[in-house]
Amino acid sequence: MTTDRIMVTGGAGYIGSHVVRQLGEAGHEVIVLDNLSTGFRDAVLHGQLIEGDSGDLPHVEMLLKEHRIDAVMHFAAHIVVPESVSDPLKYYRNNTGNTRNLLEACTRAGVRRVIFSSTAAVYGVPANKECAENSPLEPINPYGRSKLMSEWMLQDLAAASELRYGILRYFNVAGADPGGRIGQSTPLATHLIKVACEAATGRRDHIDVFGTDYATPDGTCIRDYIHVDDLARAHLLALERLRNGGDSFIANCGYGHGYSVREVLDMVQQVSGTTLDIRAAPRRAGDPPALIAKAERIRALLGWKPQHNNLEFIVATALAWERQRHAQ
C-alpha cells in the first residue's frame, strides 16, 4: 500500500479527527496542525499533534518542509453561520485569510496536493432543492462566502501551478465514530442532530423547530444528513485520486436524499426512548426549505460507496457519543 505524509489542519476538530483516525488506520503518517481553539487534544487518535495556526505562514512552511509533507487536508475553520454574520472579519481572517497563507506555504514547500473542506453553504438558497456541483454559487452569509473565496483561490492557484486540489462540499454532517472513540464535542452546538441528542440526554430542556410553515410535506426544513465516517472515507478516496495523478475536482458530499426536521426528531425519540419537549419556533434567518446533494459525482469520480446511509444509525452513534460524554 502506498502511504503519504499528510498534514491535517483542524485535525483535532469534529470532522478532522474522524479523518485522522481513518488515515492512521490506513497507515498514513499524520501531522495534525490545530490551534485547539475549538478542537480537543484527546480527539487526535493518530500521528503527531502540533499546536499552531494554519495561517502562520513561516511556521506552516517550516513544518511542511521538515516533515516532507506530500498532501495537506485543510479542515481548520470557523463554522457558525450566525457568528459569521455578526463578526464577518473573523471569518474572512480565519477561513479565507488563513487558507491563503496555507496555500502560499504549500507553494513554497512544494506541496502539490490539497484537499479542502467546503460546504453546501456555497449554494445559498437553491432554486430547487437539489444542488449539483455546477449549480449557481450564491452564498447568503459570510461563512459561505469565506469558503467560496477559498475555493476560488485553490482554482486560481491550480491554474497557475502544479497544485491539484479536491474540494469536498459537505452537506449536513452528523453522527460519531461507531467505535465510540470520538464524536462531536463542540460546546454551544447549533446543529439539529447534536442539539436533539443533547435534549435526549437531559442537557437541554427542550428543542425548537425553526419554522413549521415551509412548503415541504410536514412544513419543516429538509436536509441531506451524512454520517461523519462516510464523509471521512471520501477524504481518503480524494487523497488516493490525487496521488494517482487524477485531476483536480469538486464534489458534493451527501447521500442524495433528505429528512425533515420532524423526521429527525422522531428518530431521536425512537432511538433514545425519550419524549422530547419539541416547540414550534419562528423560521431561522437564511434557512433554505430543502437542501439535498446531487451526489452522483463523488461516486463516479472516487468510487465512494456510503456505508452508513441510514438515519437511525447516524442518530444512534450521535446519541451514544452524547451519553458517553454525559456519563464522564
Hey, which residues are catalytic here?
143
Q: Does 302 contact ligand UDP by CB under 6 A?
A: no
Strand pairing partners for 230?
A: none
Stretch binding ligand UDP (CB under 6 A), from 3-11, 158-166, 202-210, 236-244 = 202-210
Question: Pick from 103, 221, 226, 238: which binds ligand UDP (CB under 6 A)?
Answer: 221
Q: Does 195 contact ligand UDP by CB under 6 A?
A: yes
Nearer Cβ to ligand UDP, position 172 or 184? 172
Q: How far is the CB of 47 from ligand UDP (least distance, A)?
A: 29
Question: Pick from 93, 112, 284, 297: which binds ligand UDP (CB under 6 A)?
Answer: 284
Q: Does 210 contact ligand UDP by CB under 6 A?
A: yes
CB 240 within 8 A of CB 26: no
Nearer Cβ to ligand UDP, position 208 or 240? 208
CB 237 within 8 A of CB 26: no
Nearer Cβ to ligand UDP, position 55 or 175? 175
Question: Pick from 84, 95, 98, 172: which binds ligand UDP (CB under 6 A)?
Answer: 172
- For 77, phi then psi, to 5°, come to -170, 160
User: How many residues bind to ligand UDP according to rule CB under 6 A?
Assistant: 14
Q: Does 191 contact ligand UDP by CB under 6 A?
A: yes
